[in-house]
Structure 1
Amino acid sequence: MTSHPPPIAAPEAVPGQAGADALSITNLEVHYRGITALRGVSLTVRRGEIFTLIGPNGAGKSSLVNAICGIVPGSGSIRFDGSPLDALPAHRRSRLGVIQVPEGRRVIAPLSVMDNLLLGCEAAGVRGGDFEADLQRVFELFPILAERRNQASGTMSGGQQQMLAIGRALMGNPHVLLLDEPSLGLAPVIVADVFRAVKRLNAQGMTILLVEQNARLALETAHRAAVLEQGRIVRQGMAADLANDPVIADHYFGQAAAT
């Protein structure tokens, strides 16, 4: 008889969770390099919630994030706060407040921590923000970045670089933060620190789309979730409901535990 982990309780509701959709995606298709990466994907991310997307490698999770950000072309409809994004290039989407923390962190290694954070301000463009307040928020969230502000980012640990990648995105004053595999390659203690920061940002009202291969951790963190397999959404609903489904647990939690 298969044993299952204890039930996962739903995270507390956050202000704005029941409000209008921050992101609305309808019948999204992505084809590139001769591959169909997404097939008719539809989902909504509500303002003020954490929505997580789980699935195996190659399911199309990163393709979805990149299509939302305008990095890869797609057909269908992507709307942000009710307005269409489909015709906008990537830099225009980021300046509206749709900002990604990419898989693999991609900090600019020769530049200092501070210079990487300053580059993050460019994502906001004329929308801007309060630089000092944004910087203080980043340093409060990740104090190590304040301590290492003059250090070349390429000499930092993987966990510190992940914190810097998130901090750089926050300097762009995002309205929707897209996190692509934030736990990838990190030690468990650092993963815990990163996910505490994610929850703290959400508690402050930030809308977050989380792509994460550690399915159990993702479902423990999120309010709602979808399962993506072979480019299609195969399940969608409350994260706690999916986490407590024996089929989901059998299919994904073993892999997450092994990771």
Structure 2
Amino acid sequence: MLTIQNASVSYNGIRALRGVTLSVAQGEIFALIGPNGAGKSTLLHAASGIVPLAEGEIRLEGETISGRPAHKVARAGLIQVPEGRRVIAPLTVAENLELGRQAAGIRGTSSADLDQVHALFPILAERRDQPAGLLSGGQQQMLAIGRALMGRPRVLLLDEPSLGLAPVIIREVFDALVRLNRDGLTILLVEQNAKLALETAHNAAILEQGRIVHKGAAAALAGDPVVADHYFGRAKADA
């Protein structure tokens, strides 16, 4: 569904990504874990067209999308839920959701899309007329996911969805992601909580200093004693 081939990204002459290659199969949850500063968010930004590749290629269902502007990547079906949620505070919950539909270039209205979001996160229906800035952090995360879903993604990218949330809200959010995946949505998940990510995903990769240093089935990685070293940044890239 999503193929990232030999992707490299540079910031001011510093390589943030170094030849990253991975594939996300249709209908799977793929987790990307690693220490802070490893390049995880950069990889999502590169896939989304927010930052350009210095080298490599990104394909969505075989079609090259690298080099396209971010709005065209989103309209092709690759939609990101950003770190920190970034809902538009003065707009209502309903307006934020509508913005997700309009930004993806979807014409007309569809109650089915909104019904799906409300079924997944009922609190968004209850608070539909409330300014997004007055929601709790967990509710804003639900809104950010709902806004992305209104764009009808073929692949959903999530950047640190558990960040700053209470454990009970984290579980609610991740339960929703599992439900979406069971309905067929392909998900690429960046998550600092390695244990939760590996429990949720089908396959996973560990990114360290801009390189993939370990990848495979999530369950196998969860039981691998080397994974802890990679996650905390102590392992060598050739381990």
Q: TM-score, normalized by length of structure 1? A: 0.87
- 1:170 and 1:213 mapped to 2: Cα distance? 23
- 2:103 and 2:220 mapped to 1: Cα distance? 36
- 1:192 and 1:121 mapped to 2: Cα distance? 26
1:131 and 2:110 matched: yes
Partner residue, 2:236:
none
Contact preservation (8 Å) 2:8, 2:16: yes
Offset, 1:249: 3.9
Spell out the pairing of 1:45-124 with structure 2 (5 A cutoff): 45-74=24-53, 75-124=55-104
Structure 2 stretches lacking a partner, 5+ long: 233-239
Aligned residues: 231
- 2:229 and 2:16 mapped to 1: Cα distance? 25
Partner residue, 2:193:
214
- 2:230 and 2:49 mapped to 1: Cα distance? 31
SS in 1 for 2:189: strand
- 2:10 and 2:226 mapped to 1: Cα distance? 30
- 1:250 and 1:84 mapped to 2: Cα distance? 35
Question: What amino acid is the match of 1:125?
Answer: G
Question: What amino acid is the match of 1:31?
Answer: S
- Indicate which of 139, 154, 169 corresponds to 1:190: 169
Offset, 1:161: 0.2
- 1:129 and 1:57 mapped to 2: Cα distance? 41
1:142 and 2:121 matched: yes
1:42 and 2:1 matched: no
Structure 1 stretches lacking a partner, 5+ long: 1-21, 254-259
Offset, 1:123: 3.2
Contact preservation (8 Å) 1:131, 1:171: no
Offset, 1:30: 0.4
- 1:35 and 1:148 mapped to 2: Cα distance? 44
Give CA-to-partner distance per residue, 1:91-148, whole Å, 9 cap, x none. Answer: 111001100000000000000000000000023215x586210000000000000000
Partner residue, 1:5:
none
1:161 and 2:140 matched: yes
Spell out the pairing of 1:234-253 with structure 2 (5 A cutoff): 234-249=213-228, 252=231
Contact preservation (8 Å) 2:213, 2:230: no
- 1:120 and 1:194 mapped to 2: Cα distance? 19
**Identical aligned pairs, as a percentage?**
68
